[in-house]
Amino acid sequence: MAALSTSTFDVDAVRARFSSLRGGFAFLDAPGGSQVPDEVGAAVAASYVEASGNLGAPYATGERVEETLANAKADAARLLGGEADNIVFGPNMTSLNFALSRAAGRDLGPGDEVLITRLDHDGSAAPWVELAADRGFTVELVDATEDFRLDYEDLERKLSARTRVVAFPWASNVFGTRLDAARICALAHEAGALAWVDAVHFAAHEPVDVAALDCDVLLCSAYKFCGPHLGIAHVRPATAERWRPYKARPSATSPFGRRFETGTPTYELLAGLSATVAYFDSLGGLGSTVAHERALAERFVANLPDGVELYGPALEDRLPTFLLNVAGVPAKTVARELAKRDVGVWHGDHYYALGVADRLPYPDEAIRAGFIHYNTTAEVDRFNAALGELAAAAPGD
């Protein structure tokens, strides 16, 4: 194996906190969702047992859910580098994005324009496409380069006085492509548009700082970073204070973020989110995992066997997410054969990135694999070895 950089990250101690990792199965499917540490599951269960109630109840469980909600807002804000009052929770990123875009889009109409990108997951793109069908404004697609990076020149060409929103992913869920989010936010604001960031894929791997990013809306999903299935947004009050939300009229509108929450919070999942943030705090924060994940990605690429093709940008331009195929072997077959070897990866076509569907360099499907901080070098080596076996056994031309 090639000699590569290492880190002092104690992956064995991390893995001991996950019951799901004790069976020897290598979960290399983080782009589709991560495993969850036991303490998060315990927090969810404890909430059901100890705080099964609702806000406003004049007894102990009412006080507990009030505390659960306040803690979750504070913890999410700390995770994202924002303010607790500006946090909005929803059942998932997509539902939350539909709700927020509807509130923001009440005043959009013919003559207005929203920019999305070819690299968007459809959870970021579809809310604007569907709203445009209702309101009559235009949605334009910012192009991608041949190696699936954002075409910044095309973005600058398409920005205009008509542009009201620039919605984009901080990182591609398909290729792992990292976008220059600060640059895009600055360009959007220079044009007088809102900067609307899908951080679902990015937030699983690197720290987020909404204040430094200077975005208007940022969304992510806790299940991508070892938490419960929960959508999280940070919304800038100066941007959204005039938005009229779609919600039951008597429900809370204060503090600020509550005005965009459409129903009863999922208190048990909020308790799980706080446990997730505490878990990362115990590791030294999300930044403490970056070097380890980078070393895994370097090891994988350096030792990739012959007959395996990677798609997308160079390693320095991506997170540890990889789209690949084994020559002569259908992706579905590869995924099933890997599963027999206790290696879990996904097979699929566009992975919900419809903007690149007509650009994909394969006719049918590809394998998507990704590493997260609980993965090990041994798992990476097992993955490469299995890919090599499948490539060697592939039928010839």
Contact 97, 127 (CB under 8 A): yes
Give the residue, 5 or 323, on which the prediction is more confident: 323
Split at pLDDT 50, 70, 90, the class of 7 is low
Domain(s) of CATH 3.40.640.10: residues in the chain: 41-282
- 246-298 pLDDT per residue, tens: 998 888 888 999 999 998 999 999 999 999 999 999 999 999 999 999 999 99
Which two tokens mark 373? 């901080």
- 92-134 pLDDT per residue, tens: 999 999 999 999 999 999 999 999 999 999 999 999 999 999 9
Distance CA 118, CA 150 (A): 8
Contact 234, 86 (CB under 8 A): yes
What integer pLDDT is reported at residue 361 of this predicted model?
A: 94
CB atoms within 10 A of CB 71: 17
Domain(s) of CATH 3.90.1150.10: residues in the chain: 11-35+287-392
Q: Which amino acid is at 337?
A: E
Q: Domain 41-282 carries which CATH code?
A: 3.40.640.10
- Domain 11-35+287-392 grouped into CATH 3.40.50.720: no
Which two tokens mark 306? 């012959």
**pLDDT higher than 80, residue 2:** no
Which two tokens mark 262? 């459409």
- 10-20 pLDDT per residue, tens: 999 999 999 99
**pLDDT higher than 90, residue 331:** yes
Q: Which amino acid is at 262?
A: T
- 143-163 pLDDT per residue, tens: 999 999 999 999 999 999 999
Split at pLDDT 50, 70, 90, the class of 396 is confident
Q: Which amino acid is at 313?
A: P
Determine the 3-state secondary structure of 332 from DSSP: helix
Distance CA 111, CA 132 (A): 11
- 182-211 pLDDT per residue, tens: 999 999 999 999 999 999 999 999 999 999
Cα torsion 299, 304, 310, 314: sign? positive
Q: What is the mean pLDDT of residues 71-80?
A: 98
Query: How high is the mean pLDDT of the chain?
Result: 95
Which two tokens mark 59? 């007894």
**pLDDT higher than 90, residue 369:** yes
With pLDDT > 70 as the criterion, what percentage of the chain qualifies?
98
What integer pLDDT is reported at residue 397 of this predicted model?
A: 57
Contact 186, 152 (CB under 8 A): no
Which residue, among 314, 325, 330, has the nearest Cα to 387 in the 3D structure?
Answer: 325
Which residue, among 183, 194, 173, has the nearest Cα to 115 in the 3D structure?
Answer: 194
- 23-60 pLDDT per residue, tens: 999 999 999 999 999 999 999 999 999 988 888 889 99
Contact 323, 245 (CB under 8 A): no
